[in-house]
Amino acid sequence: EAGVAQSPRYKIIEKRQSVAFWCNPISGHATLYWYQQILGQGPKLLIQFQNNGVVDDSQLPKDRFSAERLKGVDSTLKIQPAKLEDSAVYLCASSSPGGGTRGELFFGEGSRLTVL
């Protein structure tokens, strides 16, 4: 079974530029999450999708961050314009509500963003 795919793995941009990250969850997983992990900290939930609907985006800085999951499968997270404090690893995860993996989040390897 293929895992959660993310791209790009690394991205370096200047402040005020824009960037987009892509995530393809595990096949059949209805729930998709974007987390921000700043160096030395735990992952912070940015947005949670259930199929193509938003369940929780309370911690998403909506003035600069946006995310979509138009067809309920893959998702894109965009930052525009980027700030220095956006330097972090952006982790995508997916989950399935039932079965033996109930409650478990499956994470991708992350996209590391450096803003100069």
Partner 1 sequence: AQSVTQPDIHITVSEGASLELRCNYSYGATPYLFWYVQSPGQGLQLLLKYFSGDTLVQGIKGFEAEFKRSQSSFNLRKPSVHWSDAAEYFCAVGGTNNNDMRFGAGTRLTVKP
The residues of the shown chain that bind partner 1, judged by CB under 8 A, are 4, 31, 33, 35, 40-45, 48, 55-56, 91, 93, 95, 97, 102-105, 107-110
Two tokens, residue 76: 């894109």
Taking the least distance from each CB to partner 1, the nearer of 14 and 41 is 41
| CB of residue 56 to partner 1, shortest distance in Å | 7
Find out whether 79 and 96 touch, Cβ atoms under 8 Å.
no
Taking the least distance from each CB to partner 1, the nearer of 79 and 110 is 110
| CB of residue 37 to partner 1, shortest distance in Å | 9
Helix (H, G, I), strand (E, B) or coil at 85: helix
Q: CA 97 to CA 66: how far, in whole Å?
A: 25
Identity (one letter) of the amino acid at 83?
A: K
| CB of residue 23 to partner 1, shortest distance in Å | 11
| CB of residue 81 to partner 1, shortest distance in Å | 27
